[in-house]
Amino acid sequence: MAGDKADIIVVGAGVFGLWTARAALARGLRVLVLEAGPTVAHGASGGIVGALAPHMPERWGEKKQFQFEALTALAPAIAAVEAESGLSTGYHRTGRLVPLLDDAARDRAQSRIGDARENWGNAAQMQILPSDAYPEWLDASAAPAGIVHDTLTGRLHPSATCHALAEAIRRAGGIIETDCEVLDVQSGRVKTARGDRFADAIVLAAGVRGFDLLAPHVGEVTGRAEKGQAALLDADLGDIPLIYADGLYLIAHKHGGVAVGATSERQFDGVGTDALLDDVIARARAVSPRIAQAPVLARWAGLRPRANGRDPMLGAVPNAAGVFAALGAFKIGFGIGQKVGEVLLDEITNGTVNMPDSFRVAAHLGRGK
Ligand SMILES: Cc1cc2nc3c(=O)[nH]c(=O)nc-3n(C[C@H](O)[C@H](O)[C@H](O)COP(=O)(O)OP(=O)(O)OC[C@H]3O[C@@H](n4cnc5c(N)ncnc54)[C@H](O)[C@@H]3O)c2cc1C
């Protein structure tokens, strides 16, 4: 399609861009994805953590409802991608364990169980388990007042999911051009290092770099990078619930390895891993006997795209007809990516806006850093 006009160009082959491309193909559009890196998932989406975790069920609002609908829609969508691509994403709705440290935390959890019943309905449950419910995976001494278990949380393998999406896109006739950096985006035209590309609709899904590509249209830089570091340890536990403890996720992946992470760094010197990751690994080992001695298989760092308003930044770009943002995935890109693709295509194809106002580009303007 390089010389032809596409119906839609997606800039960036991370989780937001790939789900958007797949949604466009499903609606019969001709799709071109432009990716600066040598492969898909060259940015934050090429990682190893992959928690699909809900917001807490209290103080319910539009944003939590959006994420809840995204999480509950994911299983059939992932099954379709795996069937279309022949590749595993490592997805499973494993549930999640959160250790309770004292009676006050247990009281808060009891009230949260009522909120979950009210807001999650029959789709998922929350309960309190005894401290020794998973003795080898979550040390009972790390959960003196019990363990909150929810059945809504899941996990997938981030980079495997992106490669499965990319394969599904290619098999459906979509084109993914790698090593193709986008330099500038205007209505109907994308300037790349390899020449111009044309389409009726253009979706900016370039992660952290997307804020720079958007800036000329909105007159300001609307987001920034927040660095995260994670590690993969050598242990195989299959589809066991993931743990969220001491601000960290411990995730046993379907095909082996336990991911632990992540740091949240607003200020950072380099983009690689460093001593902060050693601290993460030590804290994770302290709560889980199964990884206490496990060798480290991989260390990984990435830059999360955080929009200034903190929420995702989606939809029509002011002052640029036919240009749409798919930015600000921040910490929840894998949980909401599939729904983001669907709502963007609703807007692109028939102008319907099916998302909270706080997700719109305008909501992020004038918010500084
Ligand atoms: C350590 C860590 C742990 C995380 N854990 C989780 C988790 O457990 N669960 C979860 O849901 N999320 C998690 N996240 C966040 C998640 O990774 C992000 O929300 C998500 O990957 C962002 O996806 P994206 O598509 O918006 O951006 P990216 O994945 O960064 O994709 C953008 C793509 O655009 C390409 N690109 C950039 N500039 C250009 C250009 N000019 N032209 C063409 N292409 C370009 C990049 O190469 C990249 O491939 C984590 C992040 C980190 C760093």
> What does the pLDDT look like over 296-312, one tens digit per residue?
999 999 999 999 999 99
Q: Are residues 217 and 204 in the same domain?
A: yes
Confidence bin at 331 (pLDDT 50/70/90):
very high
CATH number for 175: 3.50.50.60
Ligand 1 centre to CA of 42 (Å) is 8
Give the end of a domain, one of 269, 303, 337.
Answer: 303
Give how many domains the chain has, as a whole number: 2
Confidence bin at 168 (pLDDT 50/70/90):
very high
Q: How far apart are CA 180 and CA 307, in angstroms?
A: 24
Q: Are residues 337 and 287 in the same domain?
A: no
Closest to 165 (Cα-Cα) out of 318, 299, 41, 324: 41
Candidate from 10, 304, 311 with most ligand 1 atoms within 8 A of CB, to mutate: 304
Give the end of a domain, one of 303, 323, 351.
Answer: 303
pLDDT at residue 39, rounded to an integer: 98
Is 74 within the bounds of a domain? no
Confidence bin at 368 (pLDDT 50/70/90):
confident
pLDDT of residue 4 exceeding 90: no
In this prediction, residues 266-274 reach a mean pLDDT of 96
Q: Are residues 254 and 231 in the same domain?
A: yes
pLDDT of residue 290 exceeding 60: yes
Contact criterion met (CB below 8 Å) for 307 and 220: no
The atom of ligand 1 lying closest to the CA of 192 is 42
Domain range enclosing 209: 5-47+159-224+308-364
Please report the ipTM that was assigned to this predicted complex. 0.99
For ligand 1, which residues put their CB under 6 angstroms from it?
11-17, 34-37, 41-45, 47, 49-51, 181-182, 205-207, 209, 228-230, 249, 261-262, 302, 304-305, 329-335
Q: How far apart are CA 48 and CA 258, in angstroms?
A: 9
Q: Which residues contact 209 (CB under 8 A, 6 or more apart)?
A: 12, 36, 43
